[in-house]
Amino acid sequence: MEENNIPFESLVNECNIVNTQHPKDAINNIVALSADYDNDSLILIYNYFFDKSDSYEILMFLLQKIDKYRSKSSIPVLIDSLIMKEKLSQRIKDTDNLTRIRINITKVLANTKDSQCVYPLLYCLNSKDENYKVKLSCAEALGKIGDKYAVLPLMNIVEDEEESSVYVKESAVSALGMIGDSKAVDSLVSILESKKGLLDKFTFLKERALEALNKLNFKGDRAFNAVVKSLRDESVRVRINAIEVLMNSEDDRAPKLIKEMLYDSNREVVQNAVTALYNLLGDSILEEIINDENSPDYAKEEAINLKQDLAFEDEGIEENDKE
């Protein structure tokens, strides 16, 4: 059915989506439309209703329907509601519900994987007056869309000393890792090199930076040295992430540096170091750790456990082959 043949205003009244005291009944009315309209028409109806309804429940339901079809025709309606917060707030008075709707809009936009969503998401992300939860969701959406146009603006957020929310920075860092552009390496390294301010208090930002670096094919001594420095960080998770980055770095210096982590005071760090060395060097390193009288007990125990697990796996493979 063509758009001109859909009685939008009549449907608004029939479904009772405005000023309703019974949103569940209105939702049932919307569901019933599938008996009379094809999918293309339903998408247009959902888009129209989304721009008209003043019910939180109905709008959240419509977002689910719009996300199901992921039609390009829905994108302008969603972008308008995301950017024109004041306009949407005239219909949704509760500020928490308003924020939830806008967060879910960013998730639906992310699922479209459409590049036309990038600028509006960046607009909200860069707005100093924007709700930080919406900013977090915008950054995540940009990462999912994966458009490299977003890389430089995300880098600016990471490097912006006036950005007061470390959580927004964290989301921007994660998005850079998801996009996977090597231009982001310097911004990520700057987080690891930081010795003052917010970054000292929130080590999980360093964790995200290492996770992002692990997804990038970074080169150069500056990045490598920043990762090495992270091996001495007070955070256990930062040290573990640094081990993983070194393991995947394909740098000849990595095994020696990871071997030093066998002497770490934290058992989990030692366990990850043993696993990383096995992935790099194979069975021989397990024997070396077990037989070296200077190896810490944690390291020997993990090497023995890993060796046993591998033996069980091999036995399982042999049994399957016999069958």
Which pTM was predicted? 0.74
> With 70 as the cut, is the pLDDT of residue 187 above it?
yes
Q: Which tens digits make up the pLDDT trace of 236-253?
A: 999 999 999 999 998 999
pLDDT-derived band of residue 315, with 50, 70 and 90 as boundaries? Answer: low
Q: Long-range pairs for 282-290 at CB < 8 Å and ≥24 separation?
A: 283/307, 283/310, 289/262
pLDDT of residue 210: 92
Residues 233, 236, 238, 240, Cα dihedral to 10° = 120
Q: Which tens digits make up the pLDDT trace of 221-240?
A: 899 999 999 999 989 999 99
> With 50 as the cut, is the pLDDT of residue 321 above it?
no
**Amino acid at site 150:** A
- The burial of 291, by beta-carbon neighbours within 10 Å (0-12 exposed, 13-18 middle, 19 or more buried), is given as exposed
Residue with more model confidence, 202 or 25: 25
Q: Which of the residue ranges 31-45, 108-122, 186-200 would you say has the lowest mean pLDDT?
A: 186-200
pLDDT of residue 160: 77
Query: Would residue 197 be called left, alpha or beta, if left means φ above 0 and alpha means ψ between -120 and 50 degrees?
Result: left
pLDDT of residue 55: 95
pLDDT of residue 33: 94
